[in-house]
Amino acid sequence: MNDLLLFTIPLAPLLFGVVNALCGIRLPTVVVQTFAVCGVAISAAMVLLLWPLATGEGTQVILYTWAESGTLQVPVTILFDRLAAPMALMVSGVSTLIHLYAIGYMKAERDQARFFALLNLFVFAMLCIVLADNLLLLFLGWEGVGFCSYALIGYWYGEEKNAAAGRKAFLVTRVGDVFLGLALLWLFAATGTLSLSAINAQAAALPAATVTAIGLLLLLGACGKSAQLPLMTWLPDAMAGPTPVSALIHAATMVTAGVYLLCRFFPLIALSPTALAAIAGVGAATALYAATCAAAQQEIKRVLAYSTMSQVGFMFLAVGAGAMSAAMFHLFTHAFFKAALFMGAGCVIHLADGENSIFNLGGMKQRSPYLFWIFCAAALCLAGAPLTGGFFSKDAIFAALAGHGGWFHLGLLGIASYTALLTAFYTFRLLYLVFAGSGASETKGHHLPVLMLWPLLPLTVLGLLGGLLNLPPIFGGGSWLANWLGATASHLPAAQEWGLALLSLLLVLSGWLLARWRYRNYRAGAMEGRLPEFLRLGWHADSLVEKLVLRPYRYLARFSSDGIDRSAIDGALDLFAKAILAWGEYLRLVVSGRVSHYLGGVAWGLLLVLGWLLLTTVG
């Protein structure tokens, strides 16, 4: 089998994306849509076809040398290994389903060529991140997904709000990207190579302090893309984009890029206990923070956005606990059920004719029973109900934390358990408010196209059965994913594992009962009061950023502009120019235009010259 075929995986979406970008506007919409779906479907098919290349040590293949200067070698290299292959399959597979959904969703929109071209370019950039062995290629993908995310959030840029959300996402993630760039430069300075596999191979030889610093920089870089504390404010606003974009970029793939990055560098990061603890701490804090916010949101998509943030926090927690396979496991199951939830939410909004406040929705069960069952199944996965994919992946994280021991990790386990309870609570709250009762908005709304309904089914099934990927031994499974990734599975006593499973069950049950008691016949509308308001606004994170970062920066900018540029520099220049001008005014009087004055001047000049000559000759 030709190894170079691996390059068709990222290049197929690029090709169709470029075709759509260049001439999509002249092509019929059907052709544009077909091209877009073809691009990602070819990728998915190629990943499956080339799967054998990932076994063993994986396959590394060079397309050409991108840049070369002294010791700096930048070959375009793909590393298709045990970590990249499942991730690439997930990205391209979920993208294919979401592209199909998008065809239905975007039916009435005008700029479909732009939309689908950007979507394909996004998949290309994401696959670059997933497959790249060369860090510069990885960074290209990293920036590429950022750009596509920006352009797609602001897809309806006619409204200022959407464009502002896109800008915010771009700028906040850019803060993280700066740290990632620093980490990459430091890695090159320390190891002299940009190849990821080579860096991981010689990571053990680096000094411990360097590893810790690089690990923390990588964490900050990952935080930006994955919307973790403190760079998380952009994600809820990113919901201004079309729903397929939210499902693809802001739930299934791009926000998990940070987790993937940390997993990709896991051999390096695992060497530094400090970096691991920082990762776990950030993950736990974000998971808790986002879960509390999700419990008070009013818009259906914002609930899901905060829950995404919270779940990605769980993945960070897993990486920090040293359980890379648990993180990837949760990443996969989360991608499936969260994409299904987002697309379900898109269907709900579509049915309700654009209404997206959960307090005004309701009775969706009667409107579309199929949608209810799909959404319900995906929500059960999110809540972590037993035997769903989400249950097993969350359990794997708990087991990793418990296996670590020590007060720090047990404290994190406590936070994670409380977050799991909140997760179950807000998930069932959403479910009750949207689907139960008789809806207020039954009269209007659209009929759902078939393409918006059936892509949900495979995703939900994958979410429900995702546990089979990595079934722990006590449930009779073989931990396939952990073995595939070559991770050392945590060896907990069976009793402890059963205890954790029971704990999860109890958490889900109590979350469900709490939500059922509170929201089953809830008619009071949005909650008032300080605490719900505080949570709804995300702990006032936006105004905190405004106060701590934006306002001082604005003052600095105003000082630089008014205080330094306009007053000092412009003032000095103006003064100089005015002096010259005034001097010129005086000099102007000399040019009287009278011949007699000029002649007088000549005579005086002559007198001076003669006097000078006289003085010098006499002297």
Partner 1 sequence: MIVPVLHVVAVAAILFFMGLACILARRSLIMILIGAEIMLNAAGLVLVAASAYWQRIDGQLFVLFLMAMTSAEVSISLALVVYLRRRQGTVVADDFRKMSG
The interface region with partner 1, picked from 428-436, 490-498, 511-519, 594-602 by CB under 8 A, is 594-602
365 with 435: CB under 8 angstroms? yes
Q: Give the one residue of 450, 590, 615, 618 binding partner 1; rule: CB under 8 A.
A: 590
The interface region with partner 1, picked from 11-19, 420-428, 455-463, 588-596 by CB under 8 A, is 588-596
Output 69-74 pairs: Cβ under 8 A, ≥24 positions apart.
71/192, 72/188, 72/194, 73/193, 73/194, 74/134, 74/136, 74/137, 74/194
Q: What are phi and psi of 133, to 5 degrees?
A: -100, -35
Residue 561 corresponds to which amino acid? S
Q: Bridge partners of 577?
A: none
Identify the burial level of 451 via C-beta atoms within 10 angstroms of its C-beta, where 0-12 means exposed, 13-18 middle and 19 or more buried.
middle
36 with 20: CB under 8 angstroms? yes
Place of tokens 């990293």: 142
Residue 305 and residue 284: Cα distance in Å, rounded? 17
Q: Give the one residue of 595, 616, 617, 619 binding partner 1; rule: CB under 8 A.
A: 595
Residue 599 sits in the site that holds partner 1 (CB under 8 A): yes
Please, what is the minimum distance in Å from the beta carbon of residue 598 to partner 1?
10
The interface region with partner 1, picked from 252-260, 368-376, 379-387, 599-607 by CB under 8 A, is 599-607
Residue 357 and residue 309: Cα distance in Å, rounded? 20
Please, what is the minimum distance in Å from the beta carbon of residue 609 to partner 1?
13
Please, what is the minimum distance in Å from the beta carbon of residue 606 to partner 1?
8
Q: Which of 169, 279, 269 has its CA nearest to residue 223?
A: 279
Q: Which of 288, 327, 329 has its CA nearest to residue 309?
A: 288
Identify the burial level of 137 via C-beta atoms within 10 angstroms of its C-beta, where 0-12 means exposed, 13-18 middle and 19 or more buried.
buried
Compare residues 189 and 587 and give the one whose CB is closer to partner 1.
587
123 with 12: CB under 8 angstroms? no
257 with 145: CB under 8 angstroms? yes
Residue 74 and residue 7: Cα distance in Å, rounded? 16
The interface region with partner 1, picked from 274-282, 315-323, 547-555, 593-601 by CB under 8 A, is 593-601
Q: Which of 320, 134, 84, 334 has its CA nearest to residue 219?
A: 320
Compare residues 370 and 604 and give the one whose CB is closer to partner 1.
604
The interface region with partner 1, picked from 130-138, 149-157, 558-566, 585-593 by CB under 8 A, is 585-593
Residue 617 sits in the site that holds partner 1 (CB under 8 A): no
Please, what is the minimum distance in Å from the beta carbon of residue 548 to partner 1?
60
H-type alpha helices, 436-564 = 450-453, 456-465, 480-484, 494-519, 530-536, 541-545, 551-558
Residues in contact with 284: Cβ distance below 8 Å, sequence separation at least 6, in sequence order = 313, 317, 412, 415, 416, 419
Please, what is the minimum distance in Å from the beta carbon of residue 576 to partner 1?
22
The interface region with partner 1, picked from 55-63, 222-230, 512-520, 587-595 by CB under 8 A, is 587-595
The pattern of x and - marking residues 520 through 539 that bind partner 1 according to CB under 8 A reads: --------------------
Map residue 270 onto helix, strand or coil.
coil
Structure tokens at 44: 């998915």
Q: Give the one residue of 447, 588, 617, 619 binding partner 1; rule: CB under 8 A.
A: 588
Compare residues 30 and 610 and give the one whose CB is closer to partner 1.
610
Give the H/E segment covering residue 35.
helix 29-49
10 with 43: CB under 8 angstroms? yes
Q: Which of 294, 12, 232 has its CA nearest to residue 127?
A: 12
Q: Give the one residue of 26, 110, 491, 594 binding partner 1; rule: CB under 8 A.
A: 594
Residue 601 sits in the site that holds partner 1 (CB under 8 A): no
Structure tokens at 362: 């309701």
Please, what is the minimum distance in Å from the beta carbon of residue 163 to partner 1?
56
Compare residues 189 and 595 and give the one whose CB is closer to partner 1.
595
The interface region with partner 1, picked from 138-146, 361-369, 516-524, 583-591 by CB under 8 A, is 583-591
The footprint of partner 1 on residues 285-324 (CB under 8 A) is: none
Cis ω for the linkage preceding 532 (within 30 of 0): no
Q: How far is CA 576 from CA 553, 564, 590, in A?
A: 31, 17, 22
The interface region with partner 1, picked from 144-152, 284-292, 466-474, 600-608 by CB under 8 A, is 600-608
236 with 302: CB under 8 angstroms? yes
H-type alpha helices, 77-111 = 84-105
Number of residues that bind partner 1 (CB under 8 A): 13
Please, what is the minimum distance in Å from the beta carbon of residue 613 to partner 1?
14
Q: Give the one residue of 502, 559, 592, 614 binding partner 1; rule: CB under 8 A.
A: 592
Compare residues 110 and 594 and give the one whose CB is closer to partner 1.
594
Q: Give the one residue of 2, 438, 443, 596 binding partner 1; rule: CB under 8 A.
A: 596
Compare residues 550 and 613 and give the one whose CB is closer to partner 1.
613
Q: Considering all CA atoms of the chain, what is the largest pairwise distance in Å, rounded to the nearest integer?
A: 122
Q: Which of 116, 98, 127 has its CA nearest to residue 17?
A: 116
The interface region with partner 1, picked from 202-210, 316-324, 445-453, 589-597 by CB under 8 A, is 589-597
454 with 341: CB under 8 angstroms? no
Q: Give the one residue of 589, 616, 617, 618 binding partner 1; rule: CB under 8 A.
A: 589
Please, what is the minimum distance in Å from the beta carbon of residue 594 to partner 1?
5
Compare residues 48 and 599 and give the one whose CB is closer to partner 1.
599
The interface region with partner 1, picked from 137-145, 332-340, 370-378, 584-592 by CB under 8 A, is 584-592
The interface region with partner 1, picked from 45-53, 365-373, 561-569, 596-604 by CB under 8 A, is 596-604
Q: Give the one residue of 593, 615, 616, 617 binding partner 1; rule: CB under 8 A.
A: 593
Compare residues 577 and 599 and give the one whose CB is closer to partner 1.
599
Residue 252 and residue 233: Cα distance in Å, rounded? 18
Q: Give the one residue of 52, 354, 563, 600 binding partner 1; rule: CB under 8 A.
A: 600
Please, what is the minimum distance in Å from the beta carbon of residue 601 to partner 1?
11
Please, what is the minimum distance in Å from the beta carbon of residue 574 to partner 1?
24
Compare residues 491 and 588 and give the one whose CB is closer to partner 1.
588
Compare residues 572 and 610 and give the one whose CB is closer to partner 1.
610
Compare residues 568 and 607 and give the one whose CB is closer to partner 1.
607
Q: Give the one residue of 205, 591, 615, 618 binding partner 1; rule: CB under 8 A.
A: 591
H-type alpha helices, 520-594 = 530-536, 541-545, 551-558, 570-590
Summarize as ranges the residues that interact with partner 1 (CB under 8 A).
588-596, 599-600, 603, 606
